Amino acid sequence: MALSVEHIQIAAYLGAGICVGIGAVTTGIGSGIIAGEGAYGIVKQPKANEQIFRTMLIGQAAAQTAGIFALVISMLLIYGRADAPEGGWFKAAAYLAAGLAMGLGSVGPSLGAGYAGGQACKSVARMPKHGNAIMGNMLIGQALSQTSAIFALVVAFLLIYSVPNQAADISMGRIIVKSVALIAAGLSIGFGTLGPGTGIGYVAGKASDMMGRFPNEKPKIMRTMFLGAAVSESTAIYSLVVAFLLIFAL
């Protein structure tokens, strides 16, 4: 059964709404966590007001990364080639899958970055003289937690621009198999970022907390953070590999 342009547009617009909707929710929560801990820290340590406020703003900016990715993918789905008749079911499934990939892919990284930023604000309030070191650790941890969001972004781009058009003589069974595989690719990387993004943010947050309590142990704390983040990130890589196989090998 052939699809009209309107059907492909429906899939693209639905994917765009899912993408930016989920991205906005989780990014807002992450940024709110940072602001809440920043306000608590300022009350606890009024003399460090400017330092805590700066840490809060920088942390919120970093926590917005996945939300910005979701916005970009949504704009591409809305203003891309959804009005082109080529592609059929493959294109419709790929557009919907792209929205799912980036929307779900923003949840873990946004929440993880929010927790890392919130703990950094608390830590700066506890130990203002080590504020620069704590903020640096926060940014590193947030960057590591956003790696999963980058994986989701890559998969979303591939789904939008690398899926071949549906052949005219293809069987309905093959259409169903390939369309389901494309949607599964979006779900694979989308759900696959939940644990790594959140887990790495938790590791980074605890590392910043400990740096505010035991600043002389910074090398050991950071080494443990990097090792823990690397192990946590491995599962996102598994999801990325499976997503690639679903897009290109089936």
Q: How many CA atoms lie within 13 A of 243 on its CB side?
A: 32
Q: Give the CATH number for residue 208.
A: 1.20.120.610
- For 195, the token pair is 């644990």
In tens, the pLDDT along 125-150 reads 999 998 899 999 999 999 999 999 99
Region of 87 please: left (phi>0), alpha (psi -120 to 50) or beta.
Answer: left
Task: Specify the higher pLDDT residue, 237 or 90.
Answer: 237
- For 201, the token pair is 């943010």
Q: Which residues contact 116 (CB under 8 A, 6 or more apart)?
A: 59, 138, 141, 142, 145, 201, 202, 204, 205, 208
What is the structure's pLDDT at 170? 78
Closest CA to 221 of 82, 152, 127, 146: 127
- Gap between the Cα atoms of 226 and 204, Å rounded: 9
Q: pLDDT grade, residue 90 (50/70/90)? A: confident
Q: What is the mean pLDDT of residues 164-174?
A: 78
Q: pLDDT grade, residue 83 (50/70/90)? A: low
In tens, the pLDDT along 15-54 reads 999 999 999 999 999 999 999 999 999 998 888 899 999 9
Percentage of the chain beyond pLDDT 90 is: 70
For residue 84, pLDDT over 70 is answered with: no
What is the domain extent for residue 112? Answer: 5-248
Q: pLDDT grade, residue 172 (50/70/90)? A: confident
Alpha helices (H) in 64-217, listed in sequence order: 65-79, 88-105, 107-126, 131-145, 147-161, 172-192, 194-213
In tens, the pLDDT along 184-232 reads 999 999 999 999 999 999 999 999 999 989 988 988 999 999 999 999 9
- Gap between the Cα atoms of 107 and 30, Å rounded: 9
Give, in order, the Cα–Cα distances in Å from 87 to each of 91, 164, 181, 226: 5, 7, 15, 43
Written as one letter, the residue type at 101 is A
For residue 151, pLDDT over 90 is answered with: yes
Q: Over the chain, what is the mean pLDDT?
A: 90
Give, in order, the Cα–Cα distances in Å from 118 to each of 57, 61, 151, 224, 227: 11, 13, 24, 20, 22
Closest CA to 60 of 127, 135, 7: 135
Closest CA to 212 of 127, 137, 141: 127
Question: How many structural domains are present in the chain?
Answer: 1
What is the structure's pLDDT at 27? 92
Please report, to the nearest 10 degrees, the dihedral formed by the alpha carbons of residues 235, 236, 242, 244 taken in order. -150
3-state percent breakdown (helix, strand, coil) of the chain, nearest 5: 90, 0, 10
- Gap between the Cα atoms of 202 and 246, Å rounded: 30
